[in-house]
Structure 1
Amino acid sequence: MAVPKKRTSKSKGRSRKANWKRKAYFQAKVALSLAKSSLSGRSTSFIFQTQDEFTSSTSPDTDSSN
C-alpha cells in the first residue's frame, strides 16, 4: 500500500477541502437552476416528460406492441 513520505501541511489540506466544497456548491447551484427552469414551464433548452405524460404512455391498455 502506498504511504506518503511526508505529512501534508494544514494549509494544503484545507485548500483542497475548500476547492472540493466550492465545486460541490457550483454543481448544486446548477442543479437548482435547472430544476427551477423546468418547473417554470418556459424552458426550451431541454425536453422532459411530465407525470401525466409518463403515466399515459406507460399504461398497459395503450400498449400496441402485442
Structure 2
Amino acid sequence: KKRIRKTIWKKRGYWVALKAFSLAKSLSTGNSKSFFVQQIQTLE
C-alpha cells in the first residue's frame, strides 16, 4: 500500500510540473490565453 501511495504522489508531482512548465512556456512566448501578463524586457 505504501508503495502505491508513493507512486501516485510521484505521478501527481510530474503532472503539476508539466502543467507549470507549459504555462511558463506559453507566457514566455506570449501565447498565454488564461491571463494577461505585461512583457518584461530582459537586459542582456
Using the size of structure 2 for normalisation, the TM-score is 0.75
Residue pairs, 1:1-66, within 5 angstroms:
12-51=1-40
How large is the RMSD of aligned CA atoms in angstroms? Answer: 1.4
AA of the residue aligned to 2:34: S
Q: Which has the larger radius of gyration?
A: 1
**Residue correspondences, number:** 41
Structure 1 residue runs of 5 or longer lacking an equivalent are 1-11, 53-66
Using the size of structure 1 for normalisation, the TM-score is 0.54
Higher RCO (CA-CA < 8 Å; seq separation 6+): 2
Structure 2 residue runs of 5 or longer lacking an equivalent are none
Deviations along 1:18-42, one digit per CA (max 9) or x if unpaired, are: 0011110000000000000001112
Answer whether contact 2:26 2:32 (CA < 8 A) is retained.
yes
Cα distance, 1:47 vs structure 2 = 1.3
AA of the residue aligned to 1:47: F
